[in-house]
Structure 1
Amino acid sequence: MALLNIENLSVHYGLKTVLHNLSFTVNAGEGWVIQGQSGAGKTTLGKAVSGQLRSTGQLKIDFNPQSPLPAEVLFVESWYRFTNLEGDRNFYYQQRYNHYQRKDTITVAHELEQYGKEQGLNKERLEELLTTLNYREVLDEQLFEISSGEHKKLQLIKALWLRPQLLIIDQPYTGLDVKSRANLNALLNNYTTAGGALLLISNDTGLPECISHFITLKEGRIVPAGAVLSTTERPAKPLPSFLVTPPQYTSRDIIGMHDVAVRYDEKYVLSNIDWQVKAGERWLLQGPNGSGKSTLLSLITADHPQAYANHITLFGVKRGGGESIWDIKKRIGLISPELHWYFDANATVAQSLASGFFDSNGQYQQLRYAQKQQLEELLKFLDLFDLRNELLTTLPLGKQRLALLGRTIIKNPQLLVLDEPCQGLDQQQTQYFNHLVDLISKNGVTIIYVGHFESQLPSCLTHKLVLAQGKMILNESF
């Protein structure tokens, strides 16, 4: 039975046409994937189908009155947007680590309880989802405390608990570890078997078995089935001159941790961490969702107040030895999904990159001449120069990530902390960025790189640290 019928659908942003005369039909019980490079129009299509954007042409949804599934369309965004108890989103990046502010948002359990009441949902179904996606451990956490992968799981649990007749998920695998992806695929297979129609917006491999139809978009148009997509290789460019110069190290000891532990009340998030990082080493940090990776990184980036209660040295100086947070941050370039959430929505692309000089979430200071030269050189290197005056938030997600990746390297720091840096990037952009990391590594920069998949990593990595349940289970050199 045809659930969704689209004929000559177009979407316009002002004078710009983003989608051009799309036509396709989706039946109940089918699984579809919408794929294409960043900026091709994938998210725009999902929002148009769900009624969030105005479109022209025909978009007809015929719900089945006999279906046990609700006669609804649900669009799951690429990341979760939540509010505090006052109903706004005025959060800041370090807030999730400040225990005294833990009452600013509701807990995960309360969020699910409210959602279930609003939708009139069965609690037994929720229990099954919590078990399958291994989500019980975070139920008592505040919404702003959980990681990007845990936020994605919350989105997925709510969607699969509701089980609408048409479900659209933007970037379903963002932040999920290997096991969680496999468990999600099993849930999606069950959903289509029950009669739900599924549209995944994703360039990922390892899709569920229920996926039988593909739409590939290029510049807002559907690429005909069987057509070979030409992938334009980025021309080889010389590395910006300021990134060829080795970082100015103040110590050969970058990170030193001895018996480090972090706990909230009686719950340990990290325990018995012994870790040393020397200048020039390039570490891969891995572990399943909820293993403590984000908390470990927050101790390094001077964002976690419990660093002072532990034996931690950064850049040769023990925490609490008189150095300021900004003394530490000026030596570090950071990108993470959480930093992206809290970034200044009014910043242009150029301001976003320039903010890396000041470790801020937007550019609030004037640049010196040399800094302006570095900014221009990096914008051109990343193919963002023509977009420099555009608001960061108006760019496709992939290009937003590239701009923030540029922010991490603009000051040629001693330490790069790259926490899942390729979230939201398509395969070509991922390869491009990892190649960039390999190039930069030649100047001797120290790197900590968080990534779940071995096939999506730079080749320069030399060491590996793996966490599970807040403890080290592997610490080795390659």
Structure 2
Amino acid sequence: MEPSTRLASIQLNNATISFDDRFTLSEIDWTIEPHQHWVITGANGSGKSALAAALAGVGKIEAGTVQGLPERVGLVSFEVQAELIAEELKKDDADIMDVVSLGTPVSEMIFEHCQDAELAGELVEKFGLTTLLDRAFRKLSTGETRKVMLIRALANKPDLLILDEPFDGLDVDTLTMLQAHLASIIESVPMVMVLNRFDEMPDFITHVAYLDKDRPEPSQGDKKRGDKKGGEKGRLAFTVDRRDEAAFNELYQLLHLKTTDLSVPEADPAHQLPALDPNQPLVKLKQATIKYGDTVIVDSLDWTIERGQHWQLSGPNGSGKTCVLSLITGDHPQCYTNDIFVFGFQRGNGESIWQIKQFIGYVSTALQWEYRVSTSCRNVIISGFFDSIGVYTKSTDNQQKIADQWLDLLGMKTRADQPFNKLSYGDQRLLLIARAMVKHPPLLILDEPCLGLDDMNRQLVLALIEKICEGKETTVLYVNHHTEDRIKEIDNHLTLDKNH
């Protein structure tokens, strides 16, 4: 087949597209060139199917522009499938028809809705539908219905083919056949697919678009009312050229963290932390004040952190965020002149700093600067069992197993023996968070964990924090000052202001 010249570039310029009151695609900037084949992917609820449908002209353009949409689009999706079934079921309405409708036969559904009857016939045979041509469309199984829709789309000579989860519900032989057929038409038909599984991505895909849920900072009024004005929102976080191997691998890792069923690995039963009183808060500050001479950094702060109560601490530079953290960890000299209760200890009553620190996992940019030893990814995680930088004590088989489970969660299981100092800055940060979590500390303090990270690596770190917050044993204290880096599992917020 000759390369297609019918389709010009499709351009979405700062486009906001609404789908009733349910969902809105927000400020989408995206260009699809005629020779490109895209996969749209992302977390559940991020708008993958909505963006695919928008390319078929579905949705209302509220702002920005959408240009270059082709006249003939082949769209296969669960939504279109459901609409076709619903139309068929209407024919059973006894108030409208005097006789029971047999429904539209498969042959009519295919051959009266295609441009290339010869191709449709070939595909009917390839998909194994020859014996079903006289059967009513609504009597087909879900997989058979999907096959009919694929044949209709492929035989309609589309200028653009949009396939939303095209491989779901297909048996192995049909899946192989469909992928081979799609590969045979890549020179003539640009394709856009929605896929959740990266391992199903065909080799001919050239680019990937990653969507994420929009994370606007709710107003105080919205928090009180629980408003969800305008429904959910999705945004195009970034696009990746498949030839960019490093960026493509980072995207794979992000999707793994976002969609994997893996949970936070269990703690090592041979290295259990002392039990804490479940009736006591983890941290309680009463009228905590930090000042240097006449300069007050923190003024009369009351703050209680209960078990399982994840917090985000934010504020401008100089507002005292790090000072407050150091009161909790015992690293600030004024922690003994304040009324501070931490993990059952009243500060200043004879406890050692190590009695406090054993219950805390801590990650910061400063720690990453200090972690300069040349050791493997696995050993970085294992070092968390010993609170050391590097491993100087022989680890147990179970500790190595747990470290490997963390690497699996991070999408890094094939990189266990790679040297830590050769990794990207973002991968190093992920490993240090795993190191802090390996003992399942009651409190995990993440001090500006996204500092210095590019957008992709920031998303990776945020995804890991969300995964940790979904667990039950560790309370997360997350420090940042960027509203766009909110974590959906964190409902408690403390904002510090400058007092000078």
| TMscore range, shorter length | 0.3 to 0.5
Q: Rg larger in 1 or in 2?
A: 2
User: TM-score, with normalisation over the residues of structure 1?
Assistant: 0.48
User: TM-score, with normalisation over the residues of structure 2?
Assistant: 0.46
